[in-house]
Chain A
Amino acid sequence: MRSAGMGLRTRGSGMLGRVLDDFDAVLARARTGAGEAFTLLYEDLARPVSAYVRSQGVPDVEDVTSEVFLAVFTGLERFTGDQAGFRSWVFTIAHHRVTDHWRRAARAAPTTEYDPADDARTAPSAEAGALEAVGTARVVALLGTLTADQREVLALRVLADLTIEQVAGVVGRSEGAVKALQRRALATLRRALETEAAPL
């Protein structure tokens, strides 16, 4: 797999992934089945997609993320749009793969409550320094206090860097409903933080 350096540049904030310099050309090559174009697209979006999948509590992040990109690369001929549209389209597929995952899981086994003690991601990693203020486990635990829809909207806004309109398209809701979900998600998080800070 080639490095991500060529053809990529960081976004303005430096936190929301990268953008391809010549997206149209890369997409055109990808449509012909070029592996190097697939790799560029994958390296552009693999982190946000996997972060989104992880934020939804999916344990099989690797499998679901790969499923998303397999669907993307084998369905490129049906996509039309620009880079922002492509990003939104990829997260639409990711959204449905996550939904499918939980639907299958619900049929396969009863759901269990999230317990941070059982989360293997509490182990420190090389990126632990970036999570000093709020650890991954705590983030996932806080996200667990939200409803699935609230968590979905928040992740798509923060991790996928999508606009309200794009999120509405991904989840199939109105922009007003997305705004309401977002507002309630933040209110729930505020309450959770206040509860944690309150003396017992």
Chain B
Amino acid sequence: MSLWNDDDDVRTDELLRSGRPAPGDEPLAGVLGGIRALLDEPAPPPTPALSTLLRDGLPTGSPTPASAHPPRWRRVLRWGTGLGVTGKILLGASVAAAGVTGAAAIPGVPDAVQVPVRDALSDLGHLLSGPETPVPAPPATSAPGTSASGDGDSPPGPDSPSVPPRATPAVPEGDDERPATPPADPQRPSDVPTGRPTQVPVGPPSDLPTPSAKDQGDHRATPGGNAPGAGSSGQEADAPSPGGEDEPG
């Protein structure tokens, strides 16, 4: 900034802050004094709502717009503590099963973890489903090598792709039971029984407080008090225009 501008800024600042005009600025100082005299007019009476607030204050512990509703985790916790013993046990078992099976289903988990978990879950499946009943072998038409599209009636020739070894007829398709031995490709997540996480009945998102942008913005403050952009007033209307090219024509 040039020296002239610096001098002009100092002169302007002095005029605005103290009202002392530089030579030739007396009429302008008079106008600024008139603006400053607006401070001498009494403040308007507060509205009834503000009067009540000034008289009674805010009740201690009253919910403010930001704390009117507890956070979601606290509501879930409150719901959980309200469950009975059976409900808690079931919820805990469901969460544990979901966690174990979910962890085992992660492809990045090493086989040393996935295989024992899968075995344990398989054993659990056997226990829950009772003794294994013999299943008759499927007909020859569903022999290995049959394509999924059903157009592979002929057995695979020597150039056919290799058959997955786990496609043994002893395991019924669609059954929850899994072979005791790990599949050929233990990395495949689809081979791992995935537990379904228990649905926690939390309130719909619409239950959560959604403070308006106005209140959010108005209350933003930074140390020093400058809070640009506060309030709902769109800054698009106040977009900076360097140079202040908004002087009236």
Q: Tell me which of A39, A55, A74, A189 contacts B31 (CB under 8 A).
A: A189
CB distance from A143 to the nearest CB of B (A): 7
List residues of chain A with CB within 8 A of the CB of B8: 183
Question: A12 to chain B: closest CB distance in Å?
Answer: 10
Q: Count the B residues whose beta carbon is within 8 Å of the partner chain — how many? A: 75
Contact of A92 (CB < 8 Å), options: B38, B44, B226: B226
Q: Which residue of A lies closest to B67 (CB)?
A: A77
CB pair B12–A193 under 8 Å, yes or no, is no
Q: How many residues on A have C-beta within 8 angstroms of the other chain's C-beta atoms?
A: 100
Kindly supply a per-residue 1/0 record for chain B positions 40-53, scoring 1 wherever the CB is within 8 Å of any chain A CB and 0 otherwise.
11111111011101
| CB atoms of B35 and A155 under 8 A apart | yes
B55-71 residues at the A interface, CB under 8 angstroms: 55-60, 62, 64-66
B66 nearest CB neighbor, chain A only: A77
> Could you tell me the distance between the alpha carbons of A134 and B30 in the complex, rounded to whole angstroms?
7
User: In the complex, what residues of A have CB within 8 A of residue B57's CB?
Assistant: 33-38
- Does the CB pair B247–A88 fall under 8 Å? no
Contact flags (1/0) for A157-200 with B, using CB distance below 8 Å? Answer: 11101001110111111101101111110101110010001000
Asked whether A149 lies within 8 Å of B246 as measured between CB atoms, the reply is yes
Q: Is A15 an interface residue (CB 8 A)?
A: yes
Question: How far, in angstroms, from A95 to B235 measured CA to CA in the complex?
Answer: 11
For A183, list chain B residues within 8 Å (CB).
8-9, 12, 244
Contacting residues, chain B, for A71 (C-beta < 8 A): 215, 218-219
Given A100-B231, A134-B37, also A166-B46 (CB < 8 A): no
Chain A to chain B contacts (Cβ below 8 Å), 14 pairs: A38-B54, A46-B46, A66-B50, A87-B225, A99-B233, A100-B233, A131-B34, A133-B34, A134-B37, A139-B37, A168-B226, A169-B224, A177-B243, A190-B27
The 10 closest A-B pairs by CB, nearest first: A85-B225, A169-B226, A96-B231, A134-B34, A33-B58, A35-B57, A75-B219, A88-B225, A180-B244, A46-B43
